[in-house]
Structure 1
Amino acid sequence: MLTFHHRTTVLAAAGTAALALTLTACGDGDSGGKSSGPAAGSAASAPSAGQSAQPGGKADTPKGAGGGAGKDAGAGKASTGPGAAAAPVCTTKDVTVKAAHQGGPPYTHIVLTAKNTSGRSCKLTGFPEVEFLESHRKHVPAVAKSKPAAPVVLTAGAPAYAVVKLSDGGVDEHTEPVTGFSVTLQGGGGTAAVKAPGAGGIAVDPAKWATGYWTPELRNGADDF
């Protein structure tokens, strides 16, 4: 009986030791997985905010980011910057003036576009002096709130715009037909003959007409009249 009890005790102790070794081995394997597993690698290779992943693990920067965009900004455009003092006044030899309807019927406004075709910079001062009718020798009056802060400088190929009101569009207005008219550039720029838009020309009301100043952009919010 004593011998049997001793063997049982030895076997139990051996089983306990084996179980402890097994648990220790499992714990070491789990700890290693946390420090160097795939999750850590995925976090390191994920694209940052504002980027999209590309094949091969590369990240693509969105268009418009960085300093490369806009290197040609301002080319062929009009401006009202400090360069107005140095630029010569545009003449009718420097610019081509055309007219087009603005908006749909009843066509109460037209847009004058003066495009610089001279190959050099020049400036447009003030507003276009428009004369629609020979019976009304005075030019169409200007709207002061459309005046820009400085003369408009046109680089080569750049346009400037002026909105001209023809009438209120009412059926009871006293309008007169116009198929062509003159535009004088202020500052000694000369006078250009301009064809009225549309097959039948335009209808103008001397009691309602008005013109805006030359501006770099079409209807920039200051020339609504």
Structure 2
Amino acid sequence: MNLMRHRSLLLATAGTALALSLAACQSDAPAKSASAASSSAAGKAADGGQADASGATDPTGPARSTASKSSADDTAGGGSAGSTGGQASATTRVCTAGDITVTAARQDGPPYTHIVLTAKNTSGHSCRLAGAPHIQFLESHKQDVPSVAKSKPAAPVVLTAGAPAYALVKLSDGGVHEDNEPVSAFSVVLEGDSTVIAVTAPGSGGIAVDPAKALTGYWTPELRNGADDF
């Protein structure tokens, strides 16, 4: 009888110890889970995310960081600027008679039917030389010499300080002709300006001009010797 009672007491004691042990394990599990969640949230925040009070990561953290970097890169690279060359040329102020000096020279080689006008920018600043020169060779012919459309350049002629532009001018069909008239000086007016520029004709004896045959090319930035067939 005593043996049976002793076994019962041992079993009761073991059961109580097992129950206490299980209770302790259950109470410790939430603490470990909370600690793990806290460590996970801290790790994500360290990687660039922003953790809120509940431990969730704010996905807008990296996005804002990327946008800021992109903006900084644009600023460092000067931003997205379009090219304004064409617009700058078109808006450069037109050359006037006070900005340039116009001279005339014979075109090289026979039959000496053309001269070349050179307009040099002497103003010290850039200006745009528009259109073709308005030329009048003779007092008896008040009409401007007609311009040749195919000689018009594709882009505006902008002259920097000291830069020249050229215009090829036809005087006659060549040879001695009854319609040719001697010219020692003539007038040039620039597009967009009303000031008359007096130009001395090249050569000691001047030039022979046939008013019915005279033609002029447009101002171009290069000497187009013979390029314009007129």
Q: Specify the TM-score bucket, using the shorter chain as the normaliser.
A: 0.5 to 0.7
Shift in Å, 1:94: 0.4
Find the structure with the greater CA-based Rg.
Answer: 2
User: Taking CA–CA contacts closer than 8 Å with sequence separation of 6 or more, which of the two structures ends up with the larger relative contact order?
Assistant: 1
Aligned equivalents of 1:125, 1:189: Cα separation in 2: 13
**Superposition pairs for residues 70-81 of structure 1, below 5 Å?**
none
Shift of 1:220: 7.0
- Moved >4 Å (runs of 4+): none
Whichever residue aligns with residue 215 of structure 1, its letter is T
Q: 1:118 aligns with which of 115, 119, 123?
A: 123
Aligned residues of 1:81 and 1:153 also touching (Cα < 8 A): no
**CA RMSD between the two structures:** 1.8
Matched-pair contact (CA < 8 Å) for 2:113–2:174: yes
1:128 corresponding residue in structure 2: 133
Q: Which runs of 5+ in 2 are unaligned?
A: 1-84
Give the structure 1 partner of residue 180 of structure 2.
175
Matched residue type, 2:125: R
| Counterparts of 1:187 and 1:193, CA distance in 2 | 17
Secondary structure at the counterpart of residue 161 of structure 1: strand
Identity in percent: 72
One-letter amino acid of the structure 2 residue matched with residue 144 of structure 1: A
Q: 1:194 aligns with which of 192, 199, 205?
A: 199
For structure 1, which runs of at least 5 residues remain unmatched after alignment? Answer: 1-79
Aligned residues: 146
Task: Give, in whole Å, the separation in 2 of the partners of 1:207 and 1:167.
Answer: 8
In the alignment, what sits opposite 1:156?
Answer: 161
Give the alignment's TM-score, normalised by structure 1.
Answer: 0.61
What amino acid does structure 2 have at the position aligned with 1:188?
D
Deviations 1:124-153 (A, max 9, x none): 110000000000000100000000123210
CA distance in 2, matches of 1:190, 1:144: 24
Are the counterparts in 2 of residues 145 and 222 from structure 1 also a CA contact under 8 Å? no
Task: Map residues 1-225 of structure 1 onto 2, 5 A cutoff.
Answer: 82-188=87-193, 190-219=195-224, 223-225=228-230
Structure with the higher helix share, 1 or 2: 2
Distance in 1, Cα, partners of 2:226 & 2:88 = 23
